[in-house]
Amino acid sequence: MTVPLAAPLTVASAYGPVTGPQSQVLAFAVVVLGSLLLATGLVTVGYSILAARRRRRRDPMRAALRGELLDRLYGRDEPAWDAWVAGLSAAERDELESVLDVYLRELDGRDAEQLAGLGRALGIGERSRRHVADGGYWDRSHALVWLALLRDAPDRDLLRTRCTETPRERAAAARVLYAAGTDDCATTGVDLLLRDDPEPFSVFGVDTLYRVAERDPNPFFERAATDFAAWPPALQRQALLVVRHLTTVVGGADLSWVVAALSNPDPSVRAAAWRALGAYGWNRRLRDAVDLDAIQAEPAPAVRADAYRALGAWGDAAALGALEAAGTIDPDPRAQVAAAETLVAQRGPDAAPAAIDPPRATDRTADAPVRPGDGGVPATEWPPFGVAWDWAAEHARFDRLARDISRDRERLYDEVRG
């Protein structure tokens, strides 16, 4: 609707009464806006008053419930949760759930088991199972968190059929199994997480994958060995991240897919593969499967930097030799610093200068190739290792100084001070 907003040039129009169709529209707009304002104002103030009243009531109630809970948990032989809960009002039960949530996250072992009894007395376990079976997405998600806190695993089929809508829900379902410590935690957990075209996880999901795989790594490594290539790069990176942290439990699992990931077209996956392999220096067979000469031909500086860190973590003569050969002539300053840091970490910042003095670029770069992506800069013009080395050594000294709490502190202090 077009509303003429300026009237003809007459004094009457300027100062006369507001009439006509425009005025009706205007009046309507004023009424609508006025109503909206009134409603917003009333709802805002009303909600604020309600919230303040709720807070006033809630704070002392919460303090009393917390005291009683701790007394029953630690001060008595038998907490008698059922009897306590039976005497609570609905508001107190709501508040007690909130208090229980806090303590279940903080406590482990026998205390947590005792508190799980309170959860059962409050009917949380039963309600959560019902929500998993019949509830909507958010109800299910909250129910899974409660079940994990109560260490109470529901039926597996229910989890498989009802709790795989999103990566988050898959992770929450697997977490229940991990928290409950079920025997099938790893097999069912990995299946929940990684079956049927999985998508990248949140950090919670990655952590859950790591936790269930830590219990028994085989289901995860077997799944990855067959499906890895089909996963999206983001999930591939996450799987490799998990591999990196499973180094102490991996046993004889098949890691060939990790080595193969070094040739992945996505540089971020290659970098993740190097980071993962860095943790497996003890695995001679795995080390032998890696082509160290290929590092110099790697076009992505970030991948080279991770390769240097992995070689430094391996620490054997072949790895350090390859690291020095590639690191000293690396044209990327960050990659070069990474190489220097790993060498300093190996030899220590206090090593005699002669021992730690890195080879100069000119010593070994005469025949060095020009890397793809380096803009054709001849190897002989690449900067030397010196600056990166000094930087790495200085920071290693400071790290040691800040971590040191022994009597040597003052000596180190002076040493850093120079």
Partner 1 sequence: MTTLESVGTTLVVGSGVFIVTYYLLINVGYLLIHVLALFQLRDNVRESAWNPSFRAFDSPFYPGVAMVVPAYNEAANIVESVRSMLALNYPDQEIVVVNDGSSDATLERLEDAFGLRPVDAEVPYDVPSEPIRGVYRSATHENLLVVDKENGGKSDALNAGVWLTDKELFCAVDADTVIDRDALLDVVAPFLEEPSRTVASGGTIRVANNCVVQDGQVKEVNLPKTGLAGVQVMEYLRAFYSGRLGLARLKGLILISGAFGVFRTDRVREIGGYRHDTITEDFDVVVRLHEHLSDNDVDYRIEFVPEPVAWTEVPETLRSLGRQRRRWYRGMLETVIASRGLFFRRRYGRVGTVVLPFFTAAEALGPLIEGFGYVLLPIGWYLGILNVEFFLTFLLLTVGAGVFLSWFGVFSEVWSYNRYESPWDAVRLLWYGVLENFGYRQWKTVVAWHGLIEFLRGEQSWGVMERRGFGDAATEAAAAGGGAGPAAAAGVATDDREDAGDGGFVWVDRLVDEPGTDGLRWLDRIASDGQPGAFASVADLAVGVGDGGFVWTTDFSAGDGDGGFVWVTDPTLGAGDGGFVLAADDDGSVRFAATMDFSRGVGDGGFVWTTDPTLGAGDGGFVWTRDAAVGAGDEGFVWVVDAVDPTDAADPTDAADPTDAADPTDAADPTD
What is the footprint of partner 1 within residues 342-381 (CB under 8 A)?
none
Q: Is 23 in the site for partner 1 (CB under 8 A)?
A: yes
Site for partner 1 in 268-327 (CB under 8 A): 302
CA neighbor of 301 nearest in space, from 358, 339, 265: 339
Q: Which of 80, 83, 158, 387 binds partner 1 (CB under 8 A)?
A: 387
Instruction: Find the shortest distance in angstroms from Cβ 7 to partner 1.
Output: 4
- What DSSP string describes 324-342? HHHHTT-S-HHHHHHHHHH
Distance separating alpha carbons of residues 387 and 217, to the nearest angstrom: 43
Q: Which residue lies nearer to partner 1 by CB, 37 or 230?
A: 37
Q: Is 41 in the site for partner 1 (CB under 8 A)?
A: yes
CA neighbor of 394 nearest in space, from 331, 338, 336, 350: 350
Q: Is 55 in the site for partner 1 (CB under 8 A)?
A: yes
Instruction: Find the shortest distance in angstroms from Cβ 308 to partner 1.
Output: 13
Task: Give the Cα-Cα-Cα angle 182, 187, 193 (nearest 5 degrees).
Answer: 105
Instruction: Find the shortest distance in angstroms from Cβ 83 to partner 1.
Output: 28
Q: Are 133 and 155 in contact (CB under 8 A)?
A: no
Q: Which residue lies nearer to partner 1 by CB, 44 or 256?
A: 44
Place of tokens 């109560």: 150
Q: Is 402 in the site for partner 1 (CB under 8 A)?
A: yes
Q: Is 35 in the site for partner 1 (CB under 8 A)?
A: no
Q: Which of 86, 90, 203, 352 binds partner 1 (CB under 8 A)?
A: 203
Q: Is 418 in the site for partner 1 (CB under 8 A)?
A: yes
Q: Are 349 and 378 in contact (CB under 8 A)?
A: no
- What DSSP string describes 159-214? HHHHS-SSHHHHHHHHHHHHHHT-TTHHHHHHHHHHSSS-----HHHHHHHHHHHH
Q: Which residue lies nearer to partner 1 by CB, 76 or 417?
A: 417
Site for partner 1 in 233-262 (CB under 8 A): 233-234, 237-238, 241, 245
Q: Which residue lies nearer to partner 1 by CB, 84 or 385?
A: 385
Task: Give the Cα-Cα-Cα angle 149, 155, 158 (nearest 5 degrees).
Answer: 100
Handedness of CA 403, 406, 409, 415 (dihedral sign): negative
Stretch that binds partner 1, among 74-82, 128-136, 157-165, 166-174 (CB under 8 A): 166-174
Q: Are 313 and 341 in contact (CB under 8 A)?
A: no
Instruction: Find the shortest distance in angstroms from Cβ 317 to partner 1.
Output: 26
The encoded tokens of residue 285 equal 């067979």
Q: Are 84 and 114 in contact (CB under 8 A)?
A: no
Q: Which of 128, 187, 188, 208 binds partner 1 (CB under 8 A)?
A: 208
Stretch that binds partner 1, among 45-53, 75-83, 279-287, 367-375 (CB under 8 A): 45-53
Instruction: Find the shortest distance in angstroms from Cβ 192 to partner 1.
Output: 15
Q: Is 149 in the site for partner 1 (CB under 8 A)?
A: yes
- The contacts of residue 10 (CB under 8 Å, 6+ apart) are none
CA neighbor of 252 nearest in space, from 209, 289, 214, 283: 283
CA neighbor of 194 nearest in space, from 156, 154, 238, 155: 238
* C-alpha R_g of the chain: 32
Tell me, by CB under 8 A, how many residues bind partner 1: 79
Q: Which residue lies nearer to partner 1 by CB, 145 or 250?
A: 145
Q: Which of 153, 206, 300, 344 binds partner 1 (CB under 8 A)?
A: 206
Distance separating alpha carbons of residues 164 and 173, to the nearest angstrom: 8
Q: Which residue lies nearer to partner 1 by CB, 68 or 266?
A: 266
Phi-psi region of 10 (alpha: psi -120 to 50; beta: other; left: phi over 0): beta
Q: Is 33 in the site for partner 1 (CB under 8 A)?
A: yes
Q: Is 173 in the site for partner 1 (CB under 8 A)?
A: no
Q: Which of 52, 80, 83, 370 binds partner 1 (CB under 8 A)?
A: 52
Q: Which residue lies nearer to partner 1 by CB, 31 or 83?
A: 31
Site for partner 1 in 64-103 (CB under 8 A): none
Instruction: Find the shortest distance in angstroms from Cβ 61 to partner 1.
Output: 17
Instruction: Find the shortest distance in angstroms from Cβ 387 to partner 1.
Output: 5
Q: Which residue lies nearer to partner 1 by CB, 252 or 299?
A: 299
Q: Which residue lies nearer to partner 1 by CB, 135 or 233?
A: 233
